[in-house]
Amino acid sequence: MLDGFSTDVLICGAGAAGLTLAIDLARRGVAFRLIDMAEGPFQGSRGKGLQPRSLELFEDLGILDRIFARGGFYPLRRQYSDGGFRDFEMIERREPTPAEPYSRPFMLPQNLTEAVMRERLAEFGQRVEFGRELIGIAQDALGVRARVAAANGEETIRARYLVGADGGRSFVRKAFDIGFPGEAMNVRAVVADLALEGLTRDVWHWWSPTPGTMLTLCPLCGTDLFQLFAPIPMEGDPDLSAGGLTAMISQRTGRRDIIVREVSWCSAYSMNARLADRFQVGRVFLAGDAAHIHPPTGGQGLNTSVQDAYNLGWKLAAVLNGATEKLLGTYEEERRPVAAGVLGLAAKLLAAMGRGEIRRGRDAQEMDLGYPGSTLSLERPARTAGVHAGDRAPDAPCRTAAGHPTRLFNLFQGPHWTLLGYEADREAVPSRTNLRIHCTSAGGDIIDEGGHIRAGYGVRPGDWVLIRPDAYIGAMVCAGEMPALSHYLDDAGLGLVSP
Ligand SMILES: Cc1cc2nc3c(=O)[nH]c(=O)nc-3n(C[C@H](O)[C@H](O)[C@H](O)COP(=O)(O)OP(=O)(O)OC[C@H]3O[C@@H](n4cnc5c(N)ncnc54)[C@H](O)[C@@H]3O)c2cc1C
C-alpha cells in the first residue's frame, strides 16, 4: 500500500457494529482490518431482538435469509399472577405492506447474528483478527497510527481512518477524551442464557409481583436455551451458578419444578444511558455502544449500532474513492440526533416496565427514523404529503419491462445510489459511476403495476427520487427542478462522477 499505509480503515471491535461496517466495506472493495481484543467470538444472547429496519439492512448486506433460517418470531408473553396466567401479544402486531415488507421484530440471539455476519465476511475473503487489542492511537492530517498488542508481540498499524466500534467502555473514546455524559439508571439486572427444565418453549414467561422481584424467561430462538432477565439490588454479589439461579427463580416464581441445568452465559450489569459528545475527531469515528449506551428495554442497542455502521460505511468508501471529506461530517450530523432519540425511548420504556407496562409499538422498530434535516437531504419543491427527503426509502413491488416481478429493494440492493424517475425522461440525467437509474416511463425499465411506487413515494409524473446507498431518500425533485438535482449529483462531496 502507498505512503506507508498498511490499510485504509482500521476497525477496532468486532461486535455487531464492527462486523456490519466490515461487510459493507468488503462489498465496496475497501481495504480494512478488523481487530478484536477477545480471544474468540462473544457467546451470549444479549441483543436478541432484530427490529424491522435492521432486517432491511440485513437484506441489503445479503444475510437476511440466513438470519430468518436460524431464528424465529417472538412468542406470546405469558403473565403469571394469582395462581393463574394470561397470554398476550407483547409486540404490536402489524401485517407487512408493499412499502414495509418486515413488520415485526425477529428474534435471534446476538451471538448467532454475529456468527452469520462473520460467515458473510468470510465470503469476501475477510475475517476478524481476534486476540488483538488496540493500546495506543495517534493521528495526523493523513491518517492514524495504532498500536496493537497481541500474544506474539506488538504491531503498529498505519491506516487512513480508525473506527472505534469497541463497545461501551471504548478505548478509542477515552483516548480522544470524548465526553460520555448521561445517567446511571439505578437499575441493575441479571441477564443469563440457561439450559433448564420445567418450562414450555411456546411463550415468554413473566412473573412480576413487584418491579424489584420481576423475572422473565424467554425461549431463545435458534437454541435450546432460555434467556433470564431479572432486576437485582444495586449492591452485592448475586449467586450466578446454576444452583443460585434455580433458587432465585424458585423464590420469585413460587415454582420448584424449574431447574437450571447449565449456565451458558451470565452477566449482572448496571444500566446506563449515555451519549458521546462527538462521534468524530478528525480521522477517528465512534460507532455503536462506543458512541451511545442505553438500557436494553425496547431492544435498541444492537439495532442502533448496526445502523451507525451502515451510515458510515458508504461515506468512508466514497471519500476513499475521491469524494471530499465533508461527506464524513454528515455521519455525526445524522447519527448523533438519532442516538439521542433512541436513548430517550429506551429510558421511557424502562420507566414503563417499572410500572408493569411492557407493550412495544412502532416507535421501537426504527422504521420512522431518518435524516430530514441533514445537509444531504434535498427536496424541491417542499412536499406537503407522503415521504420526504431524508426519510427511509419505502419498498414497492413492481415489474421489470419484460414483466417479471421485482421490488424496489432488489433495485436498491448493493453499494450504489439509485435514481428513480417516475414517468420521467431517462435521457434527462446523464450516467454517473455508482448510480443506477430506473424509470417507469414508456420505454423505461420498470413498470409500476399496482401503483405501489406512486403510493409509497407520493410521486407525480416527472418526479425524480434519489436513494442513497443506505436506502434513505437523498433527494426528491419535480421535473422543473432538474438543475437542483444535477447540482446535487455533481457535488464533489458525493463522488458520483460522470464516466
Ligand atoms: C447484558 C447485556 C444485555 C443486553 N441486552 C440487549 C437487548 O436485549 N437488546 C439490545 O438491542 N441490546 C442489548 N444489549 C446491548 C447490545 O448487546 C449492544 O448494544 C451491542 O452489543 C453493541 O454492539 P457494538 O458492536 O457497538 O459493541 P460490542 O458488542 O460491545 O462490541 C465491542 C467489541 O470491541 C472489542 N474491544 C473493546 N475494546 C477493544 C480494544 N481496545 N481493542 C480491540 N477490541 C476491543 C470487544 O472485545 C467487543 O468484541 C445488551 C448488552 C448487555 C451487556
Mean pLDDT of 102-114: 96
pLDDT value for 80: 95
Q: Please give the residue that has the higher pLDDT: either 384 or 281.
A: 281
pLDDT value for 368: 85
Residue range(s) of every CATH 3.50.50.60 domain in the chain: 2-72+102-181+273-364
Q: Give the Å distance between the CA of 101 and the centre of ligand 1.
A: 28
Q: Which residue minimizes the CA distance to atom 33 of ligand 1? A: 13
Q: pLDDT at residue 364 above 80? A: no
The model's confidence at residue 356, banded by pLDDT at 50, 70 and 90, is low
pLDDT value for 19: 98
Among 102-106, 165-169, 186-190, top mean pLDDT goes to 165-169
Q: Which CATH architecture has domain 183-272?
A: 2-Layer Sandwich (3.30)
Grid coordinates standing for 78? 405469558
Contact 164, 170 (CB under 8 A): yes
Dihedral sign from CA coordinates of 307, 313, 314, 319: positive
Mean pLDDT of 204-228: 92
Contact 475, 465 (CB under 8 A): yes
Q: pLDDT at residue 360 above 90? A: no
Q: pLDDT at residue 355 above 80? A: no
Q: Give the Å distance between the CA of 287 and the centre of ligand 1.
A: 11
Dihedral sign from CA coordinates of 300, 303, 308, 311: negative
- Per-residue pLDDT reduced to its tens digit, 469-496: 999 999 999 999 999 999 999 887 888 8
Q: Give the Å distance between the CA of 425 and the centre of ligand 1.
A: 48
CA 171/CA 183 separation, integer angstroms: 20
Contact 419, 464 (CB under 8 A): yes
Q: Give the Å distance between the CA of 266 and the centre of ligand 1.
A: 14
303 lines ligand 1 (CB under 6 A): yes
Mean pLDDT of 146-162: 97
pLDDT value for 239: 96
Q: pLDDT at residue 343 above 90? A: no
Percentage of the chain beyond pLDDT 90 is: 81
Is pTM beyond 0.75? Reply is: yes
- The minimum-distance atom of ligand 1 relative to the CA of 189 is 1
Q: Give the Å distance between the CA of 50 and the centre of ligand 1.
A: 15
Cβ-based neighbours of 8, under 8 Å, separated by 6 or more = 30, 31, 32, 159, 160, 161, 316, 320
Q: Is 423 exposed, middle or buried (0-12, 13-18, 19+ CB in 10 A)?
A: middle
Q: Determine the residue of 166, 220, 284 to mutate for testing ligand 1's pocket, defined as the one with the most ligand atoms within 8 A of the Cβ atom.
A: 166
Mean pLDDT of 416-435: 91
User: At the top level of CATH, which class does the domain 2-72+102-181+273-364 belong to?
Assistant: alpha beta
pLDDT value for 415: 95
What is 378-490's CATH number? 3.40.30.120
229 lines ligand 1 (CB under 6 A): no
> Mean pLDDT for the chain?
93
Mean pLDDT of 151-155: 96
Q: Please give the residue that has the higher pLDDT: either 209 or 263.
A: 263
- The minimum-distance atom of ligand 1 relative to the CA of 191 is 1
CA 250/CA 212 separation, integer angstroms: 15
Mean pLDDT of 225-252: 95
pLDDT value for 498: 73
Q: pLDDT at residue 299 above 90? A: no
110 lines ligand 1 (CB under 6 A): yes
Q: Give the Å distance between the CA of 17 and the centre of ligand 1.
A: 8
The model's confidence at residue 357, banded by pLDDT at 50, 70 and 90, is low
Beta pairing partners, 280: 285
Q: pLDDT at residue 2 above 60? A: no
Q: pLDDT at residue 189 above 80? A: yes
Residue range(s) of every CATH 3.30.9.10 domain in the chain: 183-272
Q: What does each C-alpha distance from 98 to 95, 103, 313, 455 come to in angstroms? A: 10, 11, 27, 10
HSE-CB for 398 with a 13 A CA cutoff: 27
Residue range(s) of every CATH 3.40.30.120 domain in the chain: 378-490
- Per-residue pLDDT reduced to its tens digit, 58-77: 999 999 999 999 999 999 99
Q: pLDDT at residue 176 above 60? A: yes
Q: Which residue minimizes the CA distance to atom 51 of ligand 1? A: 46
289 lines ligand 1 (CB under 6 A): yes
Q: Give the Å distance between the CA of 177 and the centre of ligand 1.
A: 20
Q: pLDDT at residue 81 above 70? A: yes
CA 59/CA 102 separation, integer angstroms: 10
